[in-house]
Amino acid sequence: MDYSSSKELSPARAWWTRETVAVVTGANRGIGLALASRLAEHGITVVLTARDAERGEAAATALRARGLHVVFHRLDVADPGSVQAFAAWLRDAVGGLDILVNNAAVSFNEIDTNSVEHAETVLRTNFYGAKMLTEALLPLFRRSPATSRILNISSQLGLLNKVSDPELKRLLQDEERLTEAEVEGMVSRFLAQVKDGTWRGQGWPKVWTDYSVSKLALNAYTRVLARRLQARGDRVSVNCFCPGFTRTDMTRGWGKRTAEEAAEVGARLALLPPAELPTGTFFKWCTPQLYSKL
């Protein structure tokens, strides 16, 4: 199924209402802002979050000026205190959520560089932050008959074919036995090698290495979490989406498509009909079926 087409989501198939709540992180600009806008245009209540309160509120105000139902709350996914405060606010002020889009991410690489100088910050935000927020919000999902869903904005740079260490690849490919502890152990090993300067030649992805490892970990965590939730009968799906090379601040304005084009596909995935909603799946841009198993 090609979700990159321009066909509109059919209102007749809509499982959501104005009472449906979607949380979008890192949404004051780029793909996050475009996703918040697109979801709100479908009539969903959107909680727009950003680390910068002034910019986040300005983004939400602009969307509200268009008649969209959007509220802002500050959230720094890399800060445990901020995550806990946000979860408490969401529980008390909103009552829960139905959709979580983990979009917040950072990279310090230029288009033609591969620095790992800020690897700890990148992993803390892109992997640990998304994981910490997800775990904090899991009890707040309302487990609607339509099935609640998590969509992690990821990257093909974090796919297993970018890993050349055979032992690491075997670990990550063992879908039935891979654990969260092993995923975190992989990240810790990478950061230790960055710290002592031995990370080169260890089989890590060769392009934007720190960013790629963060997405490698996020993809693996998505798979492990999907299996855990399925095993306990929890009606929350969790998937990844790679929007491809998109023109945003992170890519310094380079890319094949706009943030709005990427968000159109992301919104379709976030709003898939319950009968078509998989879990533990990696969606990527413009393939014959659009998605493939992680």
CB proximity list for 142: less than 8 A, separation 6 or greater: 95, 96, 97, 98, 148
At residue 9, does pLDDT exceed 70?
A: no
The confidence score (pLDDT) of residue 253 equals 57
Q: Which of these, 79, 39, 30, lies nearest to 59 by C-alpha position?
A: 30
Residues 30, 282, 261, CA angle at the centre, nearest 5°? 30
User: Around Cβ 11, how many Cβ atoms within 10 Å?
Assistant: 8
The chain-wide mean pLDDT, for the chain, equals: 89
Sheet of 281-284: strand order equals 70-74, 45-50, 21-24, 99-102, 148-153, 236-242, 281-284, 291-293
Q: Calculate the alpha carbon distances from 160 to 102, 170, 216, 266 in Å.
A: 21, 10, 7, 22
249 vs 217: which has the higher pLDDT: 217
User: Which residue's entry shows tokens 């709350």?
Assistant: 73
| Predicted local distance difference test score (pLDDT) of residue 111 | 74
* Predicted pLDDT at 109: 84
pLDDT at 254: 56
Length of the chain: 294
pLDDT surpassing 50 at residue 294: no
Residue 69's pLDDT is: 98
The tens digit of pLDDT for each residue in 130-172 reads 999 999 999 999 977 677 999 999 998 899 999 999 999 999 9
Residue 243 pairs with which residues in a beta bridge?
none
Q: Which of 128, 211, 221, 291 is catalytic?
A: 211
Per-residue model confidence as pLDDT tens digits over 26-85 = 999 999 999 999 999 999 999 999 999 999 999 999 999 999 999 999 999 999 999 999
pTM: predicted TM-score of the whole model, two decimal places: 0.91
Distance CA 48, CA 44 (A): 12
pLDDT band with cut points at 50, 70 and 90 for residue 6:
very low
Domain covering 16-293 in this structure, CATH number:
3.40.50.720
Q: How far apart (Å, rounded) are the C-alpha atoms in residues 141 and 147?
A: 9
pLDDT score for 147: 78
Q: How far apart are CA 82 and CA 80, in angstroms?
A: 5
| The predicted structure's pLDDT at residue 1 | 33
Q: What pLDDT band is residue 175 in, cutting at 50, 70 and 90?
A: confident
pLDDT score at 268: 93
Residue ranges of the domains in the chain?
16-293
H helices present in 69-177, as ranges: 80-89, 119-123, 130-137, 166-173
More confident residue, 122 or 249: 122
Amino acid (1-letter code) at residue 16: W
The region of weakest confidence among 8-12, 34-38, 218-222 is 8-12
Residue 291: active-site member: no
User: What type of residue sits at position 127?
Assistant: F
Between 117 and 255, the more confident residue is 117
**pLDDT for 244 beyond 70:** yes
Q: Give the per-residue pLDDT at 247.
A: 53
